[in-house]
Amino acid sequence: MSSTTEQSTQRRDASAHDRRQSGAVWPLVAKREIMVKLRDKAFIGGTLFSLAIIVGVFGFQAWNAERDRTYDIAVTSESTQMGQTVREAAPTIDDAVTVELVQVSDDAAARAALDEGEADAWLHPGDAGWVLASTSQVSSQLLAVVQPTVTQSVLESNAEAAGTDVAALQQGSEVTTELLEGDEDRRGLAQAAGIVMAILFYMSAMLFGMTLASSVVEEKQSRIAEIIAASIPTRQLLIGKLVGNVALALGQLAIYVAVGLIGLSFTDLGGLLPSLSAGLLWFLVYFLVGFTCVAALFAVAGALASRTEDVQSTATPVTMLVLIMFFGSFFVGESARAVMAWIPPFSAIAMPVEVVAGEATWWEAVLALVPLIALTAVVLWAAERIYRRALLQTGGKLGYRQAWRAEV
């Protein structure tokens, strides 16, 4: 911190009190905000807990995808041959699936085998085709193996009976899919990533916003704000508190995002990482600006309160705004979201979601940042005025309009 060293050098060669400039002291305030939070056991615990959940989710996904499953299928004499076809075909369709056959004497014995758990399913011919029976639920993984195999096998015998072969029958029937932008996996992932981003934005803005609001009212209530206001301009105090909390929130998010991306790289979707990363970077950029805007409003909410108990009510308009931003980003239709992506402060969540979904390009993201930054600047200016006026009022809870007009 060069400004402090500069100040201390200044003070050694002069004895008058005006030797020190009231330069930028906000780094001191920001540093305190961050240090206090980093030593807060609840904060550290909560962050570690969230990380554990992220790691756990990806760990489970990876484990679930990797593990081998063996299915026991009950077959009677009339389905033995089809069962053997399925058993042989299974590994070629899904290498994690192994099918074992349980030979039973008749239908009754097959049902008994299902009831007693000796078999997972019972394959038998039905009135108009084949039936894969199970007690309560047919495993989709198993069905995915059985269905095409049985279909193929029946087709082959039918074709033979008709004096032709399957290849001839299928000639020209194939429909292949082609996505001009991205593919199926990417689309699903983008949707999931969009929701996760919106949730992260919401949670982080609420957590750090409320923390900021209550730390402001704490200072106001204990009158330490007066001691500080007598030492430094309140603007510096506000800047320091905003910088500290935005840095903390952004840092926490960046860690979550990084761990999430690393986790993703261990799953089958790892190949989509590059396209997703760009969107997530935009998410962090938009969060930086969007949360600065929201944080300034939370600081105002804190300054309007006179006791910690008041914060809930003074912060209500701000929490409503964050809620609308949250829902506005993915509960509206795609065309509405494309509009929201340009309107601040909703663009703070909507635009990165659009980028991840492949709906917006990088230059659109750059452009949409302009109105968001402009709004944030206006909010900061207004917030500073209200904060400065409200912070030193001692007469109880204030309204926004009242504080705006309050005499200093």
Partner 1 sequence: MSTGHTPPTAIHVEELTRRYGDLVAVDQVSFTVPGGQMTGFVGGNGAGKTTTMRMIMGVLGIHGGRVRWGDREITTTDRRGTGYMPEERGLYPKQKVREQLIYLAQLKGMSASEAKGEVTEYLERLGLAERMDDTVESLSLGNQQRVQITAALVDQPSALILDEPFSGLDPAAVDSMADLLREHTARGVPVLFSSHQLDLVDRLCDRLVILAGGQVRAEGTPDELRQGTALRYRVVGVSDVGWVRDVLPDGGGGGRVLDVDGSTAVVELAGDPGADQQVLDRLVSEASRRGGLRELAPIITPLSEIYREATA
Q: How far apart are CA 344 and CA 386, in angstroms?
A: 21
Q: Which residue has the tokens 């993984």?
A: 141
Q: Work out whether 258 is an interface residue with partner 1 (CB under 8 A).
A: no
The count of residues interacting with partner 1 (CB under 8 A) is: 35
Q: Work out whether 7 is an interface residue with partner 1 (CB under 8 A).
A: yes
Asked if residues 121 and 70 have their Cβ atoms less than 8 Å apart, the reply is: no
Closest approach of Cβ 1 to partner 1, in Å?
9
Binding mask 362-401 for partner 1 (x = CB under 8 A): ------------------------------x--x------
Q: Which helix (H) or strand (E) holds 248?
A: helix 234-265
Q: Work out whether 42 is an interface residue with partner 1 (CB under 8 A).
A: no
Spacing of C-alpha 237 from chain mean position: 32
Q: Which is nearer to partner 1, 161 or 408 (CB)?
A: 408
Q: Work out whether 307 is an interface residue with partner 1 (CB under 8 A).
A: no
Q: How far apart are CA 390 and CA 402, in angstroms?
A: 9
Span of 21-29, 139-147, 273-281, 340-348 interacting with partner 1 by CB under 8 A: 21-29
Closest CA to 104 of 134, 124, 126, 128: 124
Residue from 154, 159, 232, 373 touching partner 1 (CB under 8 A): that is 232
Half-sphere exposure of 93 (CA within 13 A, CB side): 20
Q: Work out whether 198 is an interface residue with partner 1 (CB under 8 A).
A: no
Q: Work out whether 18 is an interface residue with partner 1 (CB under 8 A).
A: yes
Kindly write down the DSSP assignment for every residue of 81-135, as one continuous string: HHHHHHHHHHHHH-TTEEEEEEE-SSHHHHHHHHHTTS-SEEEEE-SSSEEEE-S
Backbone angles phi, psi at 61, to 5 degrees: -55, -50
Q: Which is nearer to partner 1, 186 or 389 (CB)?
A: 389
A 10 A CB-CB count for 133 gives: 17
Q: Work out whether 5 is an interface residue with partner 1 (CB under 8 A).
A: yes
Q: Work out whether 38 is an interface residue with partner 1 (CB under 8 A).
A: no
Binding mask 55-94 for partner 1 (x = CB under 8 A): ----------------------------------------
Binding site for partner 1 (CB under 8 A): 4-5, 7-8, 11-12, 15-18, 20, 22, 25, 28-29, 32, 36, 218-219, 221-224, 226-233, 392, 395, 407-408
